[in-house]
Amino acid sequence: MITAVHADITTLDVDVVVNAANRAMRGGGGVDGAIHRAGGPAVLADCVRRFPHGLATGDAGWTTAGKMPARWVVHTVGPNYGAGETDRGLLVSCYRRSLEVAENLGARSIAFPLISAGVYRWPRADAIAVAVESVMSAATSLEDIRLVAYDAATQSAIEAELSAGSSRSPEDPPPATTGSP
């Protein structure tokens, strides 16, 4: 089941919350900052322990969720569109790798923020298209996949993409991405 949710991702009672991290894996702003604040110092301590050299763009790795309702955080590093990292395949990889890591943990439910759609300035419409395409086309045992919007307009846009995506055949080309972020 794939749903669009309007929420602060740190409050969701799911097995895995996905974090839009950076390569250093030492916290930051946006959802990264929110997750470290809500999870507490145990999340950063686990990042330092498990990712001494950080994480590559497009990859994903797990830590404890600390004080959050979730059991684990799967951190993934999206491409920084604003810095010229516009390879769409790396953004798809964030969703695919996060699902793989969550499945290996035995998770049944997962919540994704829109990776790269904030500070990293990926055009929002395409960030939504990538999220929907990636999770809809993934072969995964996860039963409850939530795409989390931080505002109501974004939630509506995700819902529209989910209903369009469910009718779009896999052969259809992805929507053209505008050049401007």
Residues known to be catalytic:
32
Question: With binding defined as CB under 6 A, does residue 148 bind ligand APR?
Answer: yes
Q: Which is nearer to ligand APR, 90 or 119 (CB)?
A: 119
Least distance in angstroms from the C-beta of 87 to ligand APR: 14
| List 63, 64, 93, 116, residue binding ligand APR (CB under 6 A) | 116
Question: 137 and 121 in contact (C-beta within 8 Å)?
Answer: no
Helix (H, G, I), strand (E, B) or coil at 138: coil
Question: With binding defined as CB under 6 A, does residue 110 bind ligand APR?
Answer: no
Q: Token pair of 77, please?
A: 């590093």
Please name the helix (run of DSSP H) or strand (run of DSSP E) that holds residue 109, with its range, or none: strand 109-112
| List 15, 118, 146, 159, residue binding ligand APR (CB under 6 A) | 118
Of 5-13, 55-63, 95-103, 160-168, the segment contacting ligand APR by CB under 6 A is 5-13
| List 18, 117, 135, 147, residue binding ligand APR (CB under 6 A) | 117
- Note the residue count of the chain: 181
Question: With binding defined as CB under 6 A, does residue 150 bind ligand APR?
Answer: yes
Look at residues 102, 118, 117 and name the one whose alpha carbon lies nearest to residue 161. 117
Residues 31-60 that bind ligand APR (CB under 6 A): 31-34
Q: Which is nearer to ligand APR, 50 or 170 (CB)?
A: 50
Question: How far is the C-alpha of 141 from the C-alpha of 180, rounded, in Å?
Answer: 36
Question: With binding defined as CB under 6 A, does residue 66 bind ligand APR?
Answer: no
Q: Token pair of 18, please?
A: 């996905």
Site of tokens 């990889």: 93
For residue 119, the 8-state DSSP code is: T
Question: 108 and 125 in contact (C-beta within 8 Å)?
Answer: no
In the complex, which residues of this chain contact ligand APR (CB under 6 A)? Answer: 8-10, 20-22, 28-34, 78, 113-120, 148, 150
